[in-house]
Structure 1
Amino acid sequence: MPFRFAPWIAAALATAAVSACATLQPVQTAEKMIGSPQSSVRDTFGAPTETYQLADGKTRWIYSKQPLGYEVYAADFDAAGRLAGFRQMLTEQEIYQARPGLWTKHDVAERFGMPREPIQYYPLMKREAWSYRMYVSGYQPAHFSAYFDDRGMLDRTMIIVDAIGGDSRDHSK
């Protein structure tokens, strides 16, 4: 008699495979889901860390891997609640769209999520700083910081490359 998987084992393996793809390749997984309802996105990626109602009638779900991870993903849904886009937000391309003097804390949060690193205040500059871990130029660890004035307006952004690299490999060999 040939060996057969019980139906629940096959279902568990399929769920594990989808979950692994969503964890290892979230953007590629989500691109295949464009047009899917919010419930399918939640089933695949879990509950978002934040949600925002955007000005154009869309809804954005933020999936933050901060403070120890280097990614913040945004799942954008159209007015009907269907997935319209999914992308990694902590890229140089996304950061360069920030508009000092025009954006507020809310605009930065909608784009990158709330910071998971402690918020810093620099009294001599009179600036509050939000910091996010990211990669630049491939896999070079860096920090992206957004500085706000006392009115809550974005004053400047800065990307600082982590010269040490943040990994524990021995590069002397």
Structure 2
Amino acid sequence: MSEFRRIVTTDDENGKSGVLIDGVASNRITVLTEMWVTGDEPVDPRDGIDHAERSDRLEPPAGGTLFRYFEIAPESETAHLSDAEKRKANAEWFAAMNGAHLQPDTSRHPGMHRSKTTDYIILLSGEITLLLDKEERTLKPFDCVIQRGTNHAWVNRGSETALLVAVLVDADTASRG
């Protein structure tokens, strides 16, 4: 899995800006490398907290955001598995991301999922196909997807791992009742 450097800024007690973190992001959840997470609380640039460490799931906190990299390996790496084994592996994968509840309809593909988020996704390298219930689109590097809470899956039919960056924004108005 790739390593991603991040530089996180801060303010000192006098309101002067500096660097809080300069290093490789260490919070990984399956294929996700968490860069930063926010909740619905006010931002405090002096808190001294690595907010990326707060993330333990596929979705952002209520009223919050998630910024992450994610990698999808080529399908050829699991070609030897039966359909049942692929479904089991995908179910375990989503459970490890605390996202099992996000899979209401996996009839098209075992990786299909739906979250109450608006996601801004950019493919950085490789090739990836976005599967939707009725259609699909293949992305090349620097193509963008604005994923608006629809059922979808990512499938890598290429020969190299696909690297994507995503910002997920909580869009569940019920959570802000």
Fold shared per TM-score above 0.5: no
- Compare CA radii of gyration and give the structure with the larger one: 1
TM-score calculated relative to the size of structure 2: 0.30
TM-score calculated relative to the size of structure 1: 0.31
Q: Relative contact order, CA 8 A, sep 6+: which one is greater?
A: 2
